[in-house]
């Protein structure tokens, strides 16, 4: 699967640089299409995942789950409004950890070095997507009052974007060395991982920002998330793939309706740049509670894996 996705990314890169550059309008259409087909569905199984996470406990209340889920969305939206800079930095850290947990399920994340390893992995991916193309991001930041108030901070990031990127790469190399020293690793697996990771970073660095984000978040991350979700939910044979697909379809339709209303209002009242900015903000708020559900799932997976290993020994 990873090889297929990397070849897809290399093909996009070849198309962008040697055949026909993808216009910003087409990039945005691809991004929205991908969100509808893969991005939203990969978060639509959250209630099934939460139900499975709660297995072994006395009760699970769907009503309580939905209330808590909506409360987290509301709280995160409020934080973005009240403390935009701090909340954005917090979200980058949480999202980075989430990306690392999803992509690196083959590695142990229970140790302190493991947690730094997956977070550093995700941060470097986000920085490679955002920093080299910060000239695309700057006008989006300027559309908000907080962006105008923090113009000096944004300008600092813009002026030192490559230094920040290099520093992040060096830090990740140090963290990786620490992880290898403090965990039992298969050196073939770690070599294979770094080869794949370097290729992924190369592709993301050379793609335009929106196309790179579409490739990583919509395609790469969503595909591996769905794969992990299906494997987790069907592990005991108690939930069929048909039930999972039905649940994903139901919640995806609800999300589609909200997304269509949001998009229609955006096209009526917002310009292109403002619409792009609000779409990213909408996704950030929507995925905040999703990341908590998925984190609990990966904790459960790690616990079950450790339990199986101790039994086999």
For 71-98, the pLDDT digits (tens) are 888 888 888 888 888 888 888 898 899 9
Cα 172 to Cα 11, 116, 176, distances in angstroms: 27, 9, 6
Tell me the average pLDDT across 251-272. Answer: 60
User: Higher-confidence residue: 256 or 113?
Assistant: 113
Contact status, residue 98 vs residue 291, Cβ threshold 8 Å: yes
User: Higher-confidence residue: 35 or 4?
Assistant: 4
Whether 169 has a pLDDT exceeding 50, the answer reads: yes
pLDDT of residue 193: 93
18-55 CB burial, b ≥16 within 10 A, e <16: eeeebebeebbebbbebbbebbbbbbbbbbbbbbbbee
pLDDT of residue 269: 45
Q: Look up the pTM and report it.
A: 0.84
Tokens at 240, concatenated: 């069929």
Lowest mean pLDDT, pick from 1-10, 56-65, 260-269: 260-269
Cα 185 to Cα 118, 142, 188, 191, 312, distances in angstroms: 15, 45, 9, 10, 18
What is the rounded distance in angstroms from the CA atom of residue 20 to the CA atom of residue 16? Answer: 6
Torsion on CA atoms 103, 109, 114, 120, rounded to nearest 10: 30
pLDDT of residue 124: 96
Whether 268 has a pLDDT exceeding 50, the answer reads: no
Q: Which residue has the tokens 């009052």?
A: 145
In the chain, what's the furthest Cα-to-Cα distance?
63
Whether 65 has a pLDDT exceeding 90, the answer reads: no
User: Higher-confidence residue: 56 or 161?
Assistant: 161
For 174-200, the pLDDT digits (tens) are 999 999 999 888 888 899 999 999 999
Whether 227 has a pLDDT exceeding 80, the answer reads: yes
Average confidence score pLDDT of the chain = 83
For 117-168, the pLDDT digits (tens) are 999 999 999 999 999 988 888 877 776 677 777 788 888 999 999 999 999 9
In this structure, what DSSP letter does residue 18 have?
Answer: I
pLDDT of residue 125: 96
Half-sphere exposure of residue 129: CA atoms within 13 angstroms, side-chain side: 18
Under the banding of pLDDT at 50, 70 and 90, the label for residue 306 is low
Contact status, residue 229 vs residue 240, Cβ threshold 8 Å: no
Tell me the average pLDDT across 33-54. Answer: 79
Where in the chain are the domains?
A: 2-55+82-303
Q: What percent of the chain has pLDDT over 90?
A: 27
Nearest to 288 by CA among 36, 14, 31, 78: 78
Tell me the average pLDDT across 203-225. Answer: 90
């Amino acid at each position: 699967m990873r090889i297929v996705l990397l070849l897809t990314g290399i093909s996009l890169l070849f198309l962008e640089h040697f055949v026909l550059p993808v216009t910003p309008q087409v990039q945005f259409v691809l991004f929205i299409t991908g969100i509808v087909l893969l991005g939203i569905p990969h978060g639509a199984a959250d209630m099934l995942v939460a139900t499975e996470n709660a297995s072994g406990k006395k009760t699970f209340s769907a009503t309580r789950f939905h209330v808590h889920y909506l409360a987290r969305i509301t709280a995160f939206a409020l934080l973005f409004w009240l403390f935009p800079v701090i909340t954005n930095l917090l979200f980058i850290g949480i999202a980075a950890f989430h990306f690392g947990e999803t992509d690196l399920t083959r590695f142990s994340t229970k140790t302190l070095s493991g947690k730094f390893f997956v977070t550093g992995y995700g941060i470097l991916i986000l920085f490679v997507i955002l920093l080299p193309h910060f000239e695309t991001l700057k006008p989006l930041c300027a559309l908000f009052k907080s962006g105008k108030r923090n113009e000096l901070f944004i300008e600092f990031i813009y002026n030192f974007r490559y230094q920040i990127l290099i520093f992040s790469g060096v830090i990740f190399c140090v963290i990786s060395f620490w992880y290898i020293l403090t965990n039992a690793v298969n050196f073939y697996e770690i070599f294979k991982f770094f080869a794949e990771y370097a290729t992924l970073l190369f592709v993301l660095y050379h793609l335009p920002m929106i196309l790179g984000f579409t490739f990583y978040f919509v395609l790469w991350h969503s595909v591996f998330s769905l794969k992990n979700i299906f494997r987790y939910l069907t592990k005991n044979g108690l939930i069929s793939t048909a039930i999972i697909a039905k649940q994903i379809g139901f919640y995806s339709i609800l999300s589609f309706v909200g997304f269509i209303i949001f998009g229609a209002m955006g096209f009526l009242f917002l310009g292109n740049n403002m619409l792009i900015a609000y779409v990213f903000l909408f996704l950030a708020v929507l995925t905040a509670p999703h990341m908590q559900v998925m984190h609990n799932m990966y904790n459960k997976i790690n616990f079950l894996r450790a339990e199986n290993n101790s039994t086999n020994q």
